[in-house]
Structure 1
Amino acid sequence: MASSTPFGLQIRPRHLDFQLPDPLPRHWHGGDAFKTHLFNAMSVLFPDGERFFIDSVRQFRDRIEDPVLKAQISGFIGQEGHHSREHLAYSARLRDLGYAITPLERRAQGRIRYTQKKFSGQRQLAATVALEHITAIMADALLREPRHLQGAHPTLQRLWRWHALEETEHKAVAFDVFNQVCGDRRMLHRAMRLGTWFFLLDTSRGLILMLKEDGLLWNWQVWRDGLRWLWGKQGFFRGLVGPYRDFFQEGFHPWQHDNLALLQSTREEFDPVAAG
């Protein structure tokens, strides 16, 4: 079988209505500007990024014969499409607060257009696999360590946990498609290096833009506390280093990071009928 997702794990979109607060609290993550804007900056990138992921996988769907993987591709597309819509609504709330996020979006859109014009379909799919790994290990950290969202507005906390849950469910779909149509690990590794650079660059730009709008760009305490939260002893990003490096190990597969039990327990928050 082409699919390596654990048997019986359904991948389907949850059509939830989060009704984001209007106006969005300016520093919804416990009053902390740095934490809030790191998540905001990532959110701004998601709508266009996830449409790219959908396109890169969809172009190979007809080459997949395994009916299980084909069904998972449909679930992947449905989940990513709904993520994109929710994060577009999130972006609208950020605009209402006066954050000039359009240049961030246009830069990402321009890079995606260039990639789709200049890169082969396989390289586009490799980029999706790489970025899906980054989102998967961040999703695992958010679900495994509730302290990363401690103090956040309940609706935003729920939105990020929902997104993390579904990223975990479909974390191997693009990987399995890539293995079927190409399987070139060197291509994946190059894509990961490039994707990591642009993810960190674009997220940092968004963080800086929104801190500047708040008049906090040169506040040393904001940066001191924020960088400690990211890279300190129990930092959010520091904890991702090991799982990130695993991607470069020979024979790596996303489900070697076995978080199925965590996924199942998190599902009970969003699938009450199934839980009952």
Structure 2
Amino acid sequence: MSQPTDLHIRPRRLASGLPDPLPRHWHGGNAFKSHLFNAMSVLFPDGERFFIDSVRLFREQVTDEALKEQIRGFIGQEGHHSREHLEYSQRLRELGYDIDAIERRLKRRLAFVQRHLPDRLQLAATCAVEHLTAIMANALLSNPDWMEGADPRLARLWRWHALEETEHKAVAFDLYMQVSGSPWLRRRAMLQSTIFFTWDTTRGLIHFLRRDGLLWNWGVWRDGLSWLWGRRGIFRPLVRDYLDFYRRDFHPWQHDNRALMVRYQEEFAGEVLGRG
């Protein structure tokens, strides 16, 4: 399976800005939920620049015009995500959180990866994290209750990001299959990426809760972990989709959610930019 031939990947400029100031606990007054999303957001600007760089390493090897066009769209969308989440990070700084400390750890690691690890492994890592974001994006768009009670402007930002992650979820993968295709390298990259993504997100969450004086609040952790992994936890249904990535014959569009994608494209139709 490959990218749907009728899929046009175009970046959007989000029309509605972030609230200023940002509500400290914007997700229905819930610190854990707010800060889980905040912790992921802080990782995105540097992470998405890394994704763009890893794709650019191989872009000149692409001869297929459709894939070239999809790569242009991918780079355009990820560039807009990075800029929007940089503004998000600035709003968090203004609330007193040490965003620079969180960013420094990720910047150092990505700089090491780009200096010392093979180009194909960097692209494989991009495929892996794109899968993580794609399955979370699908769940967020499929389950509006993920954002129940959230500030409407933040909820809209996350829907916008989720939609575009869905649209371009197979671009890095298709490029990787053209230049390498090694399932072993892909699986290795996923294991490493899962560990680091979980570690970085958890450290960010801990930082935010500590600054709020809630780090040792048992009720915050009990309710938060139940929301993630309890009987109706939002992450539990993602496990099967996550594990699919390790199959030799996996392709992102085997998780075919085009109907869901089209529904949300209508919400953001007025914000599509020109050629990516």
- Paired residues for 1:62-141 under 5 Å: 62-141=60-139
1:97 and 1:33 map into 2 onto residues whose CA distance is: 14
For 1:5, give the aligned amino acid.
Answer: Q
Aligned to 1:265: 263
Tell me the residue number matched to 1:13: 11
TM-score (norm 1): 0.97
Q: CA deviation at 1:4?
A: 1.9
Alignment of 1:1-276 (within 5 A): 4-271=2-269
Alpha-carbon distance in 1 for matches of 2:27, 2:212: 15
How far off is 1:127 after superposition? 0.4
Deviates more, 1:227-236 or 1:122-131: 227-236
- Deviation string 1:45-69 (CA, Å, 9 cap, x unpaired) is 0000000000000111110110000
Instruction: Letter of the 1:196 partner, please give it.
Output: T
Paired letter, 1:183: G
When the two chains are superposed, the root-mean-square deviation of aligned CA atoms in Å is 1.2
Question: Does the Cα contact within 8 Å between 2:12 and 2:271 map onto a contact in 1?
Answer: no
Query: Which consecutive unaligned segments of at least 5 residues does structure 1 have?
Result: none
Deviations 1:169-210 (A, max 9, x none): 000000000000000010000000000000000000000000
How many residues were matched structurally? 272
Unaligned runs of 5+ in 2: none
What is the DSSP-based 3-state SS (H/G/I as helix, E as strand, rest coil) of the residue aligned with 2:237? Answer: helix
Return the letter of the residue paired with 2:223: D
What's the % identity of the aligned pairs? Answer: 64
Give distance in 2, aligned partners of 1:18 and 1:108: 28
Q: Which amino acid aligns with 2:192?
A: L
Aligned partner of residue 171 in structure 1, secondary structure: coil
Q: Quote the offset at 1:17 in angstroms.
A: 3.2
Q: Report the secondary structure of 1:112's partner residue.
A: helix
* Distance apart, 1:250 and its partner CA: 2.3
**CA distance in structure 1 between the partners assigned to 2:151 and 2:170 by the alignment:** 30
Per-residue deviation, 1:5:
1.4
Q: What residue identity is the alignment partner of 1:52? A: F
In 2, distance between residues paired with 1:51 and 1:272? 26
Over 3 Å counting, the alpha-carbon distance change for 1:268 and 1:120 in structure 2 is same
Distance 2:80 2:270 in 1: 20
If asked which structure has higher relative contact order (CA below 8 Å, sep 6+), I would say: 2
- 1:140 and 1:56 map into 2 onto residues whose CA distance is 24
| Separation in 1, partners of 2:86, 2:196 | 20
